[in-house]
Chain A
């Protein structure tokens, strides 16, 4: 027991024990704390330091401009411009949802959007890339920017940033070739093709932009910034500069492309101009066209609907590579090769063209009911004798497996994709007995395959579907003696100064055997068609300084629908360098519309002074 009172006590054993106990507790606690600190600071220090750095360092994406696209002479086809984008910075927005909604509402009023849409888009973007500013609207007008900047207090967290927008200075010229860019889709994000591309980045979605996206898209830069616990910026740590995408040189000649689209004059149609020796595309166009600049921002649904509408001729549709039309008499080249190589005819086999033949009770007659008398291959091509080819078609149907025409169509590239460096090419279609008989079995058609189908096919009528690109390939195969070229648009990858970095490989062409004398005969026949008296397009090419070999075509598309008009030309004869294929969806006779358009294109192609502007009188020859 303690001594009470004011006097000094001595330390009792009980107190000594209890104080020792307290000291022991303190010692134990200190020990635990020391070991814990040793573990945290000395043993795991590096781990926690990394964690601390994770906390504070954020990467903010800096958009890289895409590479430019130039034509064969270096003229700019696609480049970039800077636009002003309205963005919101998450850390500076009001914290409470109500305040944020207020800002969105005001912003929506200025930008002509809805608060809900802004909210959804912003939170989506922030989920993917926290701390980066989220884009509310691309490319706003300077007066809107001024309005926002003058009222910063009403728009906390709203910033305006310069962004790169794709620009297509040629507007409607070549739109289908160049294609469009758009924000990367969810599916694309998981695609190996788009490794390194992040949410919100814009990538090529069609045309060349899609095909060569790998080269055209740049490497986004990043700025590593320090943020505090609230996510506010506290200074920049390091910057990785964005790297612009590579420049892409196309084999396209802007002048020819322009003239080609002008020659079509806005009518529904398409054209293809190709080098028959190496497959380089000089021009490839489809009308009506559209302005791809609409896609460089986020396209409005209204615009997209308009560009896809049937009434306006589906401007987004690339008729040159995605279209499929009966080709009319231009197909006679394919039938000629098939007949000659299949041994059904020789260049000198003479048939009597009495204006019509009757097969199985059906009368097949020449266009316009013309009687050509005795004709061999050359004259048959020159005057476009249908009866001559009807006979070949009839014979092909009866000999061997009856698929001679179909086989050669495929060999020459009809009914299959040409392999051009553009996405979503259509293979077209070559009718065959198997196809129609199967349809008949399913009761989807009223009759099985008959010889009449083959007769129709021999002159490019009926169910055949091909596009100008395929016809250009077929004609160039004959012109170059059997090489089925793969059309190429992309020529090389360059740095921004135009120095070549990488030549784009042209895959070696498939070969088909066409005897030189057969080629010779066909070429002469085609030459006659554009130059000999009675040739279907002779009047069109009167006075044209470059010798042209070409074939008109007019395909019937059924009751009430205007004829598909075609012209395919090779020049200069006899060793052509270029093939020009033109088609109009509603052009009447090939000589009337398609051939004059082809002449205008050729005029530009060969630099014939003044010819491009000259009003070429269309021929009236039926074919």
Chain B
């Protein structure tokens, strides 16, 4: 990378000539990139060992596909990181319409996969509208909040923002993709929170959410209205007592706990029978963390969690660095998305969260999830790059 010393283009520096800040050619956050690449490596290694026996005759089926997704995703990430994210703010209405349209399109024309219609076949991979919807929602919602920044205290602002998320959330829950719907709600909460919405509004929202939960889980079934599918109800409540129904929903939790527990301190390696003999369901997608636990033990889970901790730290730091509110809100939404998915997914595998079908970002197998996650990371890098450019413009370099 060129490191030629240049004079400030503005020429007004009072500093010593030799101390002139250099235009950073490499403007990505290196630690965020490191976390990203390390998690990708973990994902590929875990999927390689876990799925060799899944499809007879093609042991690398999932590995090659996941590698391709990462390849595409990384390219997209780099492209996005070079784009000025602020432009998305202007397109927020279009983005929001596109998001709702894509979700509706999937509902109308999508193919049914395991009883849930979430994707449209796009030749190479099946496109999950609800996944990309997470990112589109963050872009649109942040734009809306930036416009309303002077009226954040209004109930109208808060309720409109919430409705912006609740509407697509209801649509994807109906697909049914409960996990993505919950992510939308987490995203709107985080954006409002970062934007500075009043605590009273959050209290009101929490009360509303409580009433909604009671309605959905208790009142509606009692009245004979099926808001959630029975299996979703079972999943949501199974973690409370996995031994109660070991054959059905409790089965997955039990097998996941057994897998993670049996990994011990350093893992079972090739003897990871919970994974290799299919006792662990969805071991390359939703329960990939259990595979990490079984194959690599506490060491493996600690490494993966540390990488996520690094990622979240960098995301929060980028949030604080952003050159404008839009960047801050974007980073807030993206961070919330990562945190929510991470904690709900890992919590599910270790039996302290309900089973919601949420993937582990970057690690779980799946094209839509991988690409959307990398696009989000690209946005974070873009925010970082823009922040560094802006700081440079002001004559300050930002420490890494």
A contact set with B: CB distance below 8 Å: 1-2, 4-9, 11, 14-16, 18-19, 22-23, 25-26, 29-30, 32-34, 36-38, 40-42, 44-49, 51-53, 55-56, 226-230, 234
Contact = CB atoms under 8 A, between A and B. Distances in A.
Nearest to A37: B301
14 contacts: A2-B196, A6-B324, A8-B394, A23-B316, A26-B309, A46-B264, A48-B260, A48-B262, A49-B262, A49-B268, A52-B273, A56-B273, A228-B278, A229-B277
Interface string B333-368: 001100100010011001110000000000000000
A47 B261 CA distance: 8
Contacts of B257: 40, 48
Interface of B: 86, 146, 149-150, 190, 193-194, 196, 255, 257-265, 268, 273-274, 277-279, 281, 293-294, 297-298, 301-302, 305, 309, 312-313, 316, 319-320, 323-325, 328, 332, 335-336, 339, 343, 346-347, 350-352, 387, 390-391, 394
A42 B150 CA distance: 52
Given A8-B390, A34-B305, A51-B258, A22 B316 contact: yes
Most chain B C-beta atoms within 10 Å of own C-beta, residue among A6, A14, A38, A55: A55
Contact of A30 (B262, B278, B305, B350): B305
A107 B260 CA distance: 44
A44 B196 CA distance: 44
Contacts of B347: 29, 33
Contacts of B279: 52, 55-56, 228-229
A392 to B, nearest CB: 80
A233 to B, nearest CB: 11
A34 B316 contact: no
B365 to A, nearest CB: 18
Nearest to A3: B325
B352 A40 contact: no
Contact of B273 (A4, A32, A53): A53
B320 A29 contact: no
Nearest to B260: A40
Contacts of A32: 352
Contacts of B265: 41-42, 45
Contacts of B339: 22, 25-26, 29
B40 to A, nearest CB: 21
A118 B281 CA distance: 33
Given A16-B320, A48-B262, A49-B264, A4 B146 contact: yes
A9 B352 contact: no
Contacts of B390: 7-8
Contacts of B309: 26, 30
B358 to A, nearest CB: 14
Select the residue from B262, B335, B390 with max chain A CB neighbours within 10 A. Answer: B262
Given A22-B190, A41-B265, A48-B257, 12 more contacts: A5-B324, A6-B324, A8-B387, A22-B194, A22-B335, A29-B339, A41-B260, A41-B263, A49-B261, A52-B273, A52-B279, A55-B279
A229 B255 CA distance: 10
Contacts of A2: 149, 196, 325, 328
Contacts of A41: 260-261, 263-265, 293, 297-298, 301
A22 B258 contact: no
A23 B324 CA distance: 21
Nearest to A38: B298
A19 B298 contact: no
B264 A42 contact: yes
Contacts of A33: 305, 343, 346-347, 350
Contacts of B259: 48, 52
B149 A4 contact: yes
A368 to B, nearest CB: 83
Contacts of A51: 258, 261-262
Contacts of B335: 22
Contacts of A228: 277-279
Given A15-B194, A26-B339, A42-B264, A226 B273 contact: yes
A227 B263 CA distance: 19
A37 B302 contact: yes
Nearest first, the 9 closest Cβ-Cβ pairs linking A and B are A48-B261, A45-B264, A228-B277, A52-B262, A229-B278, A49-B262, A41-B298, A48-B262, A40-B261
B263 A45 contact: yes
A45 B262 contact: yes
Nearest to B147: A4
B211 to A, nearest CB: 23
B27 to A, nearest CB: 15
Given A49-B262, A55-B279, A8 B391 contact: yes
Contacts of A16: 320
A36 B348 CA distance: 12
B193 A22 contact: yes
A2 B316 CA distance: 18
A36 B350 contact: yes
Given A37-B301, A56-B273, A19 B194 contact: yes
A5 to B, nearest CB: 7
Contacts of B298: 37-38, 41-42
B258 A52 contact: yes
Contacts of A36: 350-352
A34 B259 CA distance: 16
A6 B387 CA distance: 11
A19 B312 CA distance: 11
A14 B336 CA distance: 18
Among A29, A47, A48: residue with most chain B CB under 10 A: A48
A118 B313 CA distance: 64
Contact of B323 (A1, A6, A19, A226): A6
Nearest to A54: B258
Contacts of B273: 52-53, 55-56, 226
A41 B278 CA distance: 20
A480 B326 CA distance: 117
B306 to A, nearest CB: 9
Nearest to B347: A33
Nearest to B281: A229
Pick the most buried of B328, B336, B391: most chain A CB atoms within 10 A of its CB: B328
A347 B313 CA distance: 120
Nearest to A44: B261
A40 B323 CA distance: 43
A47 B264 CA distance: 10
A36 B313 CA distance: 22
Most B CB contacts (10 A, CB to CB) among A15, A45, A47 go to: A45
Contacts of A4: 146, 149-150, 324-325
Contacts of A42: 264-265, 298
A127 to B, nearest CB: 15
A95 to B, nearest CB: 15
Contacts of A226: 273, 277
Contacts of A1: 149-150
A46 B350 CA distance: 16
A301 B30 CA distance: 83
Contacts of B196: 2, 14-15, 18
Nearest to A57: B273
Contacts of B301: 37, 41
A19 B324 contact: no
Contacts of B255: 55, 229
Contacts of B190: 22
Contacts of B352: 32, 36
A226 B190 CA distance: 48
Contacts of A26: 309, 312, 316, 339
A445 B277 CA distance: 76
A336 B264 CA distance: 86
Contacts of B332: 22
B333 to A, nearest CB: 12
Given A29-B343, A45-B262, A48-B261, A15 B320 contact: yes
Contacts of A44: 261
Contacts of B194: 15, 18-19, 22
